[in-house]
Amino acid sequence: MAVADSHDTHDDHHDLYDHGEFIAHHFDSAEQQFDSGKLGIWLFLVTEILFFSGLFVAYTLYRTNHPEVFEQAHVFLNKYLGGLNTIVLLFSSLTMALGVRSAQLGRNKNCSVYILITMVCATMFLGVKAVEYSHKWDMGILVRSSFDLTYTHPTPTTEIGKSLHISDYLVYLCIVPALLFAGFVVASAISKLINKNMLAKFLMAMAITVSGYFLGVCIGIIFMSATDAETGSSHASVIAEQPLMLLASTQDDHSDGDHDEADHDKADHDKAAGDPSHDGEHSDNEEHFGAHPADGGEASFDDHHPDPSTLDRDIGIFFSIYYCMTGLHAIHIIGGIIALGWLYWRSLLGHWRTDYFGPVDYVGLYWHLVDLIWIYLFPLLYLID
Partner 1 sequence: MVDANTRQKLFGTPETNFLNCSKGWKSWAFTLDHKRIGIMYLIGVTVALFLAGIFALVLRSHLFTFDSTMLSDDMYNQMFTLHGAVMVFSFIIPSIPAALGNIVLPMMLGAKDVAFPRMNLASFYLWIIGTGCLLGAILSGKGLDTGWTFYTPYSIDTNTGVIYATFGAFILGFSSIFTGLNFLVTVNTMRAKDQGWFKLPLFVWSLYATAIIQVLATPVLGITLLMLIAEKTLHIGIFDPKYGGDPVLFQHFFWFYSHPAVYIMILPAMGVISELISVYSQKRIFGYSFIAFSSVAIALLGFLVWGHHMFTSGQSLVVTLIFSAITFTVAIPSAVKVFNWLATLYKGSILLNTPMCYALSFIFLFGIGGLTGLFLGALSTDIHLHDTYFVVAHFHFVMVGGTLTALLGGVFHWWPKIWGRMYNDFLGRVGCFLVFSGFNLTFFPQFVMGSRGMPRRYASYDPEFQAFHQLSTVGAFVLGIGILLSFVVLVYAAFRGPRCSSNPFRAASLEWQSSSPPDFHNFIQTPVLTDPYDFESQVYDEELDTYIPREFANPDKVAPRKEPVHH
Task: Name the residue nearer to partner 1 (CB basis): 7 or 292.
Answer: 7
Task: Report the residue from 15, 35, 302, 303 that binds partner 1 according to the rule CB under 8 A.
Answer: 35
Task: Report the residue from 317, 377, 380, 381 that binds partner 1 according to the rule CB under 8 A.
Answer: 317
Task: Name the residue nearer to partner 1 (CB basis): 8 or 21.
Answer: 8
Question: Could you tell me the CA-to-CA distances from 5 to 26, 166, 365 in Å, in that order?
Answer: 10, 64, 31
Helices 315-348 and 67-74, interaxial angle, to 10°?
60
Task: Report the residue from 17, 18, 51, 222 that binds partner 1 according to the rule CB under 8 A.
Answer: 51
Shortest approach of partner 1 to residue 178 CB, angstroms?
Answer: 26
Shortest approach of partner 1 to residue 79 CB, angstroms?
Answer: 23
| CB 319 within 8 Å of CB 62 | no
CB neighbour class for 336 (10 Å; exposed up to 12, middle 13-18, buried from 19):
buried
Question: Could you tell me the CA-to-CA distances from 4 to 13, 18, 24, 238 in Å, in that order?
Answer: 13, 14, 13, 67
Shortest approach of partner 1 to residue 365 CB, angstroms?
Answer: 14
Task: Report the residue from 60, 61, 280, 354 that binds partner 1 according to the rule CB under 8 A.
Answer: 61
Residues 107-166 within binding reach of partner 1 (CB under 8 A): 143-146
Q: Which helix (H) or strand (E) holds 198?
A: helix 197-241
Query: Of the ranges 24-32, 87-95, 159-167, 373-381, which one interacts with partner 1 (CB under 8 A)?
Result: 24-32
List, as one string, the DSSP characters of 299-367. ----TTS--GGGS-TTHHHHHHHHHHHHHHHHHHHHHHHHHHHHHHHHHHTT--BTTB-HHHHHHHHHH
Task: Name the residue nearer to partner 1 (CB basis): 64 or 195.
Answer: 64
Task: Report the residue from 39, 176, 198, 273 that binds partner 1 according to the rule CB under 8 A.
Answer: 39
Say which residues have a Cβ less than 8 Å from residue 187's Cβ, sequence separation at least 6. 203
Query: Of the ranges 55-63, 220-228, 271-279, 375-383, which one interacts with partner 1 (CB under 8 A)?
Result: 55-63
- Interaction between residue 50 and partner 1 (CB under 8 A): yes
Q: Measured between alpha carbons, how far is 378 from 174 in angstroms, rounded to an integer?
A: 24
- Interaction between residue 47 and partner 1 (CB under 8 A): yes
Q: What angle do CA 173, 178, 179 make, to 5 degrees?
A: 110
Residues 184-213 within binding reach of partner 1 (CB under 8 A): none
Contact set with partner 1 (CB under 8 A): 1-4, 6-8, 10, 13, 16, 24-27, 32, 35-36, 39-40, 43-44, 46-48, 50-55, 57-58, 61-62, 143-146, 259-261, 264-265, 313-314, 316-317, 320-321, 323-324, 328
